Amino acid sequence: MAFEMTIGGAPAPAAARFDVANPAGGLAGQAPNGTLADLDRAVTAAQEAFASWSQLPDGERQRYCEAVTAKIADHSEELAQLITAEQGKPLNGLGSRFEMGGAQAWAGCTAGLSLPVKVLQDNAEGRVELHRKPLGVVGSITPWNYPVMIAVWHILPALRTGNTVVIKPSPLTPLSTLRLVALLNDVLPAGVLNCVTGDDRSENLGAAMSAHPGIRKIVFTGSCATGEKIMASAAPTMKRLTLEMGGNDAGIVLPDADPQAIAEGLFWGAFINNGQTCAALKRLYVHEDIHDAVCAALAEFARGIPVGPGSDENSILGPLQNPMQHAKVARLVASAREKGQVLLGGNPGEGLFFEPTIIAGLANGDALVDEEQFGPALPVIKYRDVEEAVAAANDSPNGLGGSVWSSDIARARRVAARLECGSVWINKHGAIQPNAPFGGVKSSGLGVEFGEEGLAEYTDIQVVFA
């Protein structure tokens, strides 16, 4: 299949292309290597489409978004196959088909949301109304870990609120987004949704987007370092920003937890998408009374998870997505081996594969605990009292998610309330949903996504006095 950018509702061939690797080996395909001129054309097309799109009745835009949801559902398997080819995750388990189910669920939920006029006052002194108005062109910059689902997280609320979009996917996983946007243009007016891609070496389209005067908002999911650069370059044009950045999520297991009952939840909280998830469990603090039992139950569950190429229907975990991430995980694990006790794994596999790894005997200050590994390696830290665990969990510049594991829900809630993070779960981790706002505190982000609060982030407020 030939993948092309979409600008102004039509395929936009590029003069050059770049290779997209399959993390399991070989080539997933080639993507167009767009230029700054292509970006300018996409922004212009989006600006022109905004004039009519923003004026559509709310119900009509809702119907368009419902058509988008149906289109995603109709092509779910095709897009899942592309995700596996370029991202590496398995088709089954919590892999590509799971991602496409999430994309459809988020699209459908967002299509049904609205931001009606809010009456602030209506009396003899006059009527005051709060209106939510679309911003204009939204620039979306997406990462490589969930290429389609995160694209949907960005695109649908922008369209639903009357904005138009220019999306730029990661150069590591551009193919599924290129195809997604091409498909959605079958049901959207020309110019409402545009896609540009580039290898980020010849010309950095993401950096150009964050500074582009024709773009009114940037929504970004990715690393803290890149988010900081976007924030700085967006300042001269006073862009609105939604930044969902890195996390180093902590989980605290209280002494009354049942090790066998929580093992599966702990595993998937940490190892979903091979740990390549912003809100995955990255640090696990376990009370000394049950530390060994939790470690044993967790390692036993992990031993039963099949690891292999994503295209193998029997695989549940696949390879890491790229060599840089593989090297980072290998470095952190090698450092942890010197101090801790390897309970499972600990060795790089062939190519980009890495064994699911659990290491005990570490503490805050160790690299695998302090740095976001974004891979299949979980440090388990023993603690003596809950005050110590809460302090250690909060001792991080990040604050995306956290969790508490206990048989006493009331006690778990009290501990959860003290964690410095945007989302907190009890007896599970990372279970986000489209009707609940999601975002980080501290260095993990700016603004929220999902639900009515996330929808509002794509609007300006106008107060009408009458």
What local confidence, expressed as pLDDT, does residue 202 receive?
83
pLDDT < 70 regions, the chain: none
pTM: 0.97
Q: Take residue 319 and report the two structure tokens written for it.
A: 């390879």
Query: Is the Cβ–Cβ distance between 358 and 378 less than 8 Å?
Result: yes
Judgement on whether residues 144 and 254 belong to the same structural domain of the protein: no
What letter would DSSP give residue 312?
S
Is residue 38 assigned to a domain?
Answer: yes
Is residue 361 assigned to a domain?
Answer: yes
d(CA 34, CA 36): 7
Judgement on whether residues 280 and 420 belong to the same structural domain of the protein: yes
**Active site members:** 244, 278
CATH number at residue 95: 3.40.605.10
Judgement on whether residues 458 and 387 belong to the same structural domain of the protein: no
Structural domain total, the chain: 2
Judgement on whether residues 55 and 128 belong to the same structural domain of the protein: yes
d(CA 177, CA 165): 13
H/E stretch holding 425 reads strand 423-426
Judgement on whether residues 69 and 190 belong to the same structural domain of the protein: yes
Judgement on whether residues 114 and 191 belong to the same structural domain of the protein: yes
What local confidence, expressed as pLDDT, does residue 220 receive?
98
Task: Report in angstroms the alpha-carbon separations of 29 from 174, 202, 337.
Answer: 10, 19, 37
Query: Is the Cβ–Cβ distance between 418 and 396 less than 8 Å?
Result: no
- The sign of the dihedral angle between the CA atoms of 439, 435, 459, 122 is negative
List, for residues 90-116, the tens digit of each pLDDT value. 999 999 999 999 999 999 999 999 999
Is residue 452 assigned to a domain?
Answer: yes
What local confidence, expressed as pLDDT, does residue 461 receive?
98
What local confidence, expressed as pLDDT, does residue 1 receive?
79
Query: Is the Cβ–Cβ distance between 376 and 406 less than 8 Å?
Result: no
Count CB atoms within 10 A of the CB of residue 146: 25
253-291 burial, b for 16+ CB within 10 Å, e for fewer? bbbebebeebbebbbbbbbbbbbbbbbbbbbbbbbeebb
Residue 378 pairs in a beta bridge with 358
Judgement on whether residues 108 and 132 belong to the same structural domain of the protein: yes
Which residue range(s) make up the domain with 293? Answer: 249-426
What local confidence, expressed as pLDDT, does residue 438 receive?
98
